[in-house]
């Protein structure tokens, strides 16, 4: 028996398949006990037993053993699992339920002894059964062999259960129970693109999850997600539904009825979702937009079909919100670029490839460091670094734009806390704010929370409203958010002032603390009389309104000196300093004496 134990334990330790391990155990038992047939059954959901190994029992007989219920009257195996002790049936032929049980050579199985396999915490894992070729009970040597194998079976079944649970957790979403992104990637990797129309994908976003979370709380939003997942899984069966993100789902269509008419399939799914449900005491229904694509000629990889479905989904959100759009090759290159940008930023956020660098802002009269502007950089998969502005994120996806802003804000406040620990005081830190951020519910509270986590005074944060935000400054929600932010002590700056969409009219309608003169003006200061006159007028107006002025893009001594002589308080640009890594800010001093000489 020691050799048997060694053999089975080695198989368990190597992580071999449960069926192979139990098959070897049964054969070893049968080799030691002439006239005995051995089987191992495992208990699974719904209180049923299923055969794991029965090497010398006929397949037809094994079929009879499938899904044996656990119960007092379910025969020896079911009773053993139910009572938790060995049950012997000395004459199977006496019970009509077992009269036709036979082994591989056609010999009737005349008797059996079923023993429960008990786990370490006392739970019943399965049943080990010895079958005899004549009516009898087991002799002491057979009982001893069976008993010595029960703990081996328990170890193997527990190890298998743990591995299955780990695999399930790795491939399934915890909240909804649906397969997750990892499972989707593995499935797509196995699909072929050789047969156009053989399969397709429907990409789906819930349109109302964020409003529900913000209005009713995340517990209601989680309920909405579970309702949506359950309905999609039922309506899409036998096809599989994957949850691949917060409110993102993907359906792999393979059933003939589903791929025959993908539009009808999508409409049926949308109709099913639209039925009201009780979510945490509130009556609501999941609202969704869908995009779909079928594998087509020219699709070399499944990922291309997925990108087409994403593309169609984005078009649906832009042009047919709450509906369905099917991909076709001419769906629109501008939207394709926007989707690509959105996905690249989304991947960078997920993979922690967001960096911040800081451009110093100095007092032009003294060269003293008064603040820094945080600039977002995206590290591309190949290692190249690109400014976030290259991705036109404000035109892509409001939710991802907001996630990027929150990520940058947390990075900046963390760096400010570290600077404080080293005794460095760079003054304020400015970050860009998008129009999507201003319309995001809970923005003010979230900014306050993030600052509070690092004990950063609100007055040390400046939020820049850049040129892409200016069009939204007549929106009541945006203006209310700005007023609420300023009420907490956070300062607001108008970026790119005097150029593009920024104008003096904003100083009347938008309460701000700073304006930042754009490069279109500063490039001509000291050389262009008109630019000099305009900047002088802006500085005078700002002084009268109590608004600080920062000149951007100072690239030369001429610009620096001319701005200082006009009374511009602050400036930044490559002549002052190129952007610095966070670790270099603490040691940056600039050339205060030279700056002061230039401004004299």
Q: What is d(CA 499, CA 519) in angstroms, rounded to the nearest whole number?
A: 8
Q: What is d(CA 596, CA 600) in angstroms, rounded to the nearest whole number?
A: 6
Pairing of strands 354-363, 324-326: unpaired
Strand partners, 600: none
CA angle 219, 446, 550 (to 5 degrees): 160
Alpha helices in 422-528 (DSSP H): 435-439, 443-453, 467-470, 476-487, 505-509, 519-522
Chunked mean pLDDT (size 10), the chain, 600 residues? 85 88 94 92 82 86 78 87 92 72 65 93 93 91 93 93 86 92 91 92 93 88 95 95 93 94 94 92 92 92 92 84 87 65 83 94 92 94 84 64 90 95 92 83 90 96 75 68 93 79 61 87 81 88 91 91 92 93 86 55
Closest CA to 349 of 389, 378, 325: 378
pTM listed for this prediction: 0.53
Cβ(311)–Cβ(336) under 8 Å?
yes
The CA distances from residue 365 to 128, 487, 526, 564, in Å, are: 89, 30, 17, 6
pLDDT of residue 471: 47
pLDDT of residue 13: 87
Torsion of CA 306, 331, 236, 224, to 10 degrees: 90
Cβ(392)–Cβ(338) under 8 Å?
yes
Q: Which two tokens stand for residue 193?
A: 């693109």
CA angle 554, 559, 564 (to 5 degrees): 100
Q: C-alpha 129: how far from its chain's center? A: 46
Q: C-alpha 383: how far from its chain's center? A: 23
Q: How many CB atoms lie within 10 A of CB 551?
A: 31
pLDDT of residue 421: 92
Contact residues for 41 (Cβ-Cβ < 8 A; gap 6+): 49, 50, 51, 52, 65, 68, 77, 126, 127, 129
Q: What is d(CA 515, CA 522) in angstroms, rounded to the nearest whole number?
A: 13
Cβ(289)–Cβ(228) under 8 Å?
no
Q: What is d(CA 75, CA 79) in angstroms, rounded to the nearest whole number?
A: 6
DSSP calls for 284-306: E---EEEEEEE--TT--SHHHHH
Contact residues for 535 (Cβ-Cβ < 8 A; gap 6+): 498, 517, 521, 522, 525, 551, 563, 566, 568
């Amino acid at each position: 028996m020691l050799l048997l134990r060694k053999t089975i334990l080695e198989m368990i330790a190597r992580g071999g398949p449960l069926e192979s391990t139990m098959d070897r155990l049964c054969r070893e038992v049968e080799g030691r006990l002439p006239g005995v047939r051995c089987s191992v059954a495992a208990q699974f959901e719904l209180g049923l037993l299923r055969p794991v190994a029965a090497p010398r029992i006929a397949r037809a007989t094994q079929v009879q053993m499938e899904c044996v219920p656990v119960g007092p009257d379910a025969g020896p195996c079911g009773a053993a699992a139910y009572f938790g002790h060995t049950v012997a049936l000395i004459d199977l032929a006496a019970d009509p339920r077992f009269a036709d049980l036979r082994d591989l050579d056609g010999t009737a199985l005349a008797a059996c002894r079923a023993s429960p396999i008990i786990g370490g915490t006392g739970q019943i894992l399965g049943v080990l059964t010895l079958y005899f070729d004549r009516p009898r009970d087991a002799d002491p040597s057979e009982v001893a062999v069976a008993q010595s194998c029960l703990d081996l079976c328990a170890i193997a079944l527990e190890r298998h259960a743990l591995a299955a649970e780990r695999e399930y957790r790795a491939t399934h979403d915890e909240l909804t129970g649906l397969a997750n992104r990892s499972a989707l990637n593995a499935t797509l990797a196995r699909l072929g693109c050789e047969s156009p129309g053989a399969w397709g994908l429907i990409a789906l976003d819930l349109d109302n999850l964020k409003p529900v979370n913000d209005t009713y709380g995340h517990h209601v939003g989680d309920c909405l997600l579970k309702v949506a997942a359950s309905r999609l899984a039922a309506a899409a069966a036998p096809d599989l539904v994957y949850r691949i993100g917060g409110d993102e789902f993907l359906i792999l269509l393979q059933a003939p009825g589903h791929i025959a008419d993908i539009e009808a399939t999508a409409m049926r799914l949308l109709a099913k979702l639209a039925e009201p449900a009780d979510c945490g005491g509130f009556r609501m229904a999941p609202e969704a937009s869908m995009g779909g694509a079928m594998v087509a000629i020219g699709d070399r990889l499944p990922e291309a079909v997925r990108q087409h479905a994403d593309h169609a989904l984005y078009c649906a959100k832009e042009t047919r919100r709450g509906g369905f759009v099917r991909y076709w090759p001419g769906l629109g290159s501008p939207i394709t670029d926007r989707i690509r940008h959105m996905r690249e930023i989304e991947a960078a956020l997920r993979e922690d490839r967001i960096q911040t660098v800081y451009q110093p802002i100095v007092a032009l009269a003294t060269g003293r460091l008064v603040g820094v502007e945080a600039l977002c950089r995206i590290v591309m998969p190949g290692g190249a670094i690109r400014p976030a502005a290259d991705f036109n994120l404000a035109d892509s996806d409001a939710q991802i734009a907001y996630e990027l802003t929150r990520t940058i804000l947390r990075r900046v406040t963390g760096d400010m806390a570290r600077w404080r620990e080293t005794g460095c005081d760079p003054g304020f830190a400015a970050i860009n704010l998008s129009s999507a951020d201003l319309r995001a519910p809970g923005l003010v509270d979230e900014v306050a929370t993030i600052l509070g986590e690092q004990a950063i005074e609100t007055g040390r944060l400046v939020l820049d409203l850049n040129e892409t935000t200016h069009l939204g400054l007549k929106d009541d929600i945006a203006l209310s958010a700005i007023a609420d932010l300023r009420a907490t002590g956070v300062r607001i700056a108008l970026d790119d002032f005097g150029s593009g969409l920024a104008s003096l009219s904003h100083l009347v309608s938008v309460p701000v603390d700073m304006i930042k003169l754009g490069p279109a003006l500063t490039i001509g200061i000291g050389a262009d009389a008109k630019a000099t006159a305009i900047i002088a007028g802006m500085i005078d107006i700002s002084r009268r309104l109590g608004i600080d002025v920062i000149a951007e893009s100072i690239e030369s001594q001429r610009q620096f000196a001319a701005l200082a002589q006009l009374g511009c308080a602050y400036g930044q640009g490559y002549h002052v300093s190129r952007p610095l890594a966070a670790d270099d800010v603490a040691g940056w001093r600039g050339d205060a004496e030279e700056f002061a000489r230039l401004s004299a």
